[in-house]
Amino acid sequence: MTHPPEDPRVRRTLQHLADGREIVFFDRPGAPERVVDDPRPLSALHPAVDIRIDPVLDEPVVIASHRQGRTYHPPVDECPLCPSTDGRHTEVPTDSYQVAVFENQFPSLWHHGRCEVVCFSSRHDGRFADLSPDQVDLVMSAWIDRTVALGGAPEVQQVFLFENRGAEIGVTLGHPHGQIYAYPYLTPRTARMLEVARRHHDENGSVLADSVVARELADNVRIVARNEHWVAFVPYAARWPVEVHLHPRQRVPGLPELSQAQREAFPALYLDVLGRLDRMYNAPLPYIAAWHQAPVREGRDLLGLHLELFSIRRTATKLKFLAGSESAMGAFISDVTPEQVAQRLRDLARP
């Protein structure tokens, strides 16, 4: 696998788990050396993964039947993402870590793709919103490293990084973590975005991502927060009860192309937005945070990196369920205007 140029502020350590899976640690210089001791009697993975094409929609569907047996809401003292301590062996077989990335034991993609787990911190009861800006930057180093490494595989077409948070979203492990999917195809969402971006470029001679950001900055009413290099806004046609998109104000195709200034400006803005979300109902908001990057080999001049952050919570006590119209027809219906949500989030800024 390929990797980005070495960053003197990051120490990268590659090790292997008992079944041969890779685990990569990302630390600041001066942190303890990461030496893996994994005595678990694990067999090499042979997951049952089949990618089938829906003949009606011409879209891929992954069949991964082995995932029925994956770990499901374990007790805190049996968390597989905490460091291995006191003779208890976990997926992170070291007594401490800053950021750890390893191959998923229950992958949705195999052979012609890859699934990885990103542990944002060794602290079990933390949240991404609790990380320091420096720790967010270290997580970004891991995201960039894995984007380059996985994107360099000849079979990979798209690298997708995301975080699911909250039991309401379907999270089965409470430890703060995210995931990375390296797809051997373009996902239906990305394929559609690329199709629309190409049509926009053919008709207008401009890049759609640039036009979207320019419109939001001009309208101003849906802006939640901004700084010199990033802008966070509720999109004009938001689908979800709470939805915020974060775009770099200077378009880049993916995380590895961010300038140093853009990287440095991201953590504070993202932590600000996450804090506002958690203050909406005075409780941690369940959400999905999804990094959209341009595909590995096409559309890199048409699609721009951005983070889509959204929640199914529509009031303090109610969730939005994707029922008939959304699930069967893909036709979203929103119960609140994007302008109202944006104003609410602006009001939740810390004094």
Residues with a known catalytic role? 177
Taking alpha carbons only, the member of 332, 331, 335, 330 closest to residue 319 is 335
β-strands 114-119, 99-103 pairing: antiparallel
Spatial distance between the Cα atoms of 153 and 144, rounded to a whole number of angstroms: 15
Q: Which two tokens stand for residue 24?
A: 């990569």
Between helix 338-347 and helix 260-279 the angle, nearest 10°, is: 90
CA 68 vs. chain centroid, Å, equals 23
Distance, CA of 115 to CA of 103 (rounded, Å) = 6
Cα 176 to Cα 139, 149, 154, 331, distances in angstroms: 12, 23, 31, 32
CA atoms of 161 and 44, how far apart (whole Å): 25
40: helix, strand or coil = coil
> Pseudo-torsion of CA 168, 173, 174, 175, nearest 10°?
-140
Q: Decide if 239 contacts 330 (C-beta within 8 A).
A: no
Q: Are 220 and 227 in contact (CB under 8 A)?
A: no
The answer to whether 120 touches 128, Cβ cutoff 8 Å, is: yes
- Which whole-number Å values give the CA distances from 31 to 5, 10, 24, 35, in the listed order? 21, 10, 14, 12
Task: Give the phi and the psi of residue 165 in degrees, each rounded to 5.
Answer: -130, 130
| Helix ranges restricted to H, the chain | 133-151, 188-204, 208-219, 260-279, 329, 338-347
